[in-house]
DNA sequence: GGTCGGCGGTGACAAATGTCACCGGTGCCC
DNA sequence: GGGCACCGGTGACATTTGTCACCGCCGACC
């Protein structure tokens, strides 16, 4: 395999994306074949340029990195996907691995590390930042049922129960039961603290 | 002035900081004399290297960009300060200008723009991203009194009123009055929605 | 001096919320 | 078939909360 590694770079922050592209261009065996500033754009560029490795920012307009990764898995199975994140909460990592992401790292790594990881992933390997991995493991799985998670998510903006019930097409009593149960499982004093705790663990 | 512009770069994300340093190094008239990964480190490096321009990320461990900017203003008045932010909420901009920041821009600008803005700021000019400026102006000032803001901040983690009252050394009744007043001013249905709205406007 | 806004407080009341017990239905697994 | 967990719901109850009126005390401003 003497071809250069074809890389797709997706990040909504031009400054970072441009800088990254410049740095990766310094590596002899890497070529940035496409750049994107949003989720949908990343998908389009991937389809057009068929990169070997896609480096996706977690937070992007339109579709976030995980959604793009899930799509890419179906549309371009041979393309390896890596997620780069600013300040990553655990939970994202787990979801990322579930959609077939091969690399997951914070932006605190150095550029030369990034290049090395791209090569590793290209060769079929995996890389997960040790610190994020440790956090994810210690955080564990969400104790909430799917429905509890849904309702808690609807409660996230501080809406009163009546509104949540309407949006969830549930009885207000049921909503309160779910919220009470969720708050109990999370050790929160009320649903609002529960939202915060779930957010911190990446369960929301 | 044929000296090169001495730049301090502070960002907790190595990847970005390194990439930025590499890009700025390509400019003939700019020199990155120091890098920092945290607020306190930024202050130390600034004191040691006395840069002409400090480029600070808004969110950093220890002290955030605004706090560093405020300190620098006293300790190194001749050093111009610029703030770079990922996804900036309005309100930060206003506070930034109040502590004497000369440039305020999102990370969506290009590297060449950044270099140009560094030169502008170095020459005594100012630069504020037009989009952020528009948001800040339309957002306007906080309608909350200082005390209301304090109490709302204590309510931000979802604590019950009794706990807020204790932490604020206030009577529970007074706390409820402040929260009610704040929610009214912000058009929120309850204090939790009020917290969210205040956050979105950068008033918290 | 008077007015006004912010601060801190009290008391009372209505509404929202949290909590518990309990119901039926479903699907899964042993 | 019997457990068991999840879903959706009802009703009752105590607590928390939001809301309002009203109090005094400052300090600023006219």
Contact A111 B15 (CB under 8 A): yes
Q: In this predicted structure, what is the pLDDT of residue A35?
A: 94
CA distance B81 to chain A (A): 18
Distance in Å from C2's C1' to B146's CA comes to: 26
Tell me which residue has tokens 């204790």. Answer: B166
Decide if B12 touches A, using CB distance below 8 A: yes
End-to-end CA distance of chain B: 42
By C-alpha distance, which of A81, A78, A91, A89 is closest to A42?
A81
Of B14, B18, B159, the CB nearest to A193: B159
- Distance of alpha carbon B32 from alpha carbon B22, whole angstroms: 9
Q: Give yes or no on whether A5-138 and A146-200 have one common fold.
A: no
Which residue of chain B comes nearest to A158, CA vs CA?
A: B193
Question: Residue A182, CB, less than 7 Å from strand C?
Answer: no
CATH H superfamily, domain B5-138: Response regulator (3.40.50.2300)
Q: Which two tokens stand for residue B33?
A: 């004399």
Question: Strand C: which bases are under 7 Å from protein Cβ?
Answer: 5-12, 16-22
- Kindly compute the dihedral angle of the four CA atoms of residues A187, B203, B89, B38, in this order, to the nearest 10 degrees: -70
Per residue in A132-185, pLDDT (tens digit) is 888 777 767 889 999 999 999 999 999 999 999 999 999 999 999 999 999 999
Q: Where are the domains of chain B?
A: 5-138, 146-200
**B38 vs B204, higher pLDDT:** B38
Over 60: is that where the pLDDT of A106 sits?
A: yes
Crossing angle (nearest 10°) for helices B14-25 and A14-25: 70
Which window residues (182-201, chain B) lie with Cβ within 7 Å of strand D?
A: 183-184, 190-192
Q: How far is CA B99 from the centre of its chain?
A: 10
Whether the pLDDT of residue A2 is over 60: the answer is: no
Q: Are B19 and A19 an interchain contact pair (Cβ–Cβ within 8 Å)?
A: yes
Lowest mean pLDDT: which of A136-140, A191-195, B93-97?
A136-140
Query: For the ranges A32-41, B40-49, B93-102, B110-119, which has the lowest average pLDDT?
Result: B93-102
Nearest nucleotide to A162 (CA to C1') is C16
B45-73: average pLDDT: 91
Determine whether the distance from the CB of B148 to the nearest atom of strand C is below 7 Å.
yes
A to B CB pairs, distance under 8 Å: 103
Query: What is the β-pairing status of strands B103-106 and B80-85?
Result: parallel
* pLDDT tens for each residue of A108-134: 888 888 999 999 999 999 999 998 888
Instruction: Give me B15's structure tokens.
Output: 């990847």
Question: Which chain B residues have a beta carbon less than 8 Å from that of A117?
Answer: none
Residue A108, class by beta-carbon neighbours within 10 Å (0-12 exposed, 13-18 middle, 19+ buried)? buried
pLDDT at position B204: 82
The average pLDDT across B152-169 equals 95
Q: Are strands A80-85 and A103-106 parallel, antiparallel or unpaired?
A: parallel
Q: Which of B37, B46, B45, B53 is nearest to B116 (CA)?
A: B53
Are B75 and B82 in contact by the 8 Å Cβ rule? The answer is no
Q: Which fold has domain A146-200?
A: Arc Repressor Mutant, subunit A (1.10.10)
Is the pLDDT at B112 greater than 90? The verdict is no
- The pLDDT, as a whole number, for residue B93 is 85
- What the block records as the tokens of B56 is 């600070």
The rounded distance, in Å, linking the Cα atoms of A143 and B132 is 40
For residue B91, pLDDT beyond 80: no
The model's pLDDT over A16-71, given as tens digits with 9 standing for 90+, comes to 888 888 888 889 999 999 999 999 999 999 999 999 999 999 888 888 888 899 99
């Amino acid at each position: 395999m003497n071809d250069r590694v074809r890389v797709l770079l997706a990040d909504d922050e031009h400054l970072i994306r441009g800088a990254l592209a410049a740095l990766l261009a310094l590596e002899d065996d890497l070529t940035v074949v496409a750049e994107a500033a949003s989720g949908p754009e990343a998908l389009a560029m991937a389809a057009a340029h068929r990169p070997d490795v896609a480096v996706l920012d977690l937070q992007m307009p339109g579709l976030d990195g995980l959604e793009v990764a899930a799509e890419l898995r179906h549309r371009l199975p041979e393309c390896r996907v890596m997620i780069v994140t600013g300040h990553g909460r655990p939970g994202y990592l787990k979801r990322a691995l579930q959609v077939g992401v091969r690399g997951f790292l914070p932006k605190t790594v150095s550029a030369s590390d990034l290049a090395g990881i791209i090569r590793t992933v290209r060769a079929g390997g995996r890389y997960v930042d040790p610190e994020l991995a440790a956090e994810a493991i210690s955080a564990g799985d969400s104790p909430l049922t799917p429905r509890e998670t849904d309702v808690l998510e609807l409660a996230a903006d501080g809406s009163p129960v009546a509104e949540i019930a309407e949006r969830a097409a549930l009885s207000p009593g049921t909503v309160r039961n779910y919220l009470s149960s969720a708050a109990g499982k999370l050790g929160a004093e009320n649903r609002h603290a529960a939202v915060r705790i779930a957010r911190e663990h990446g369960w929301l």
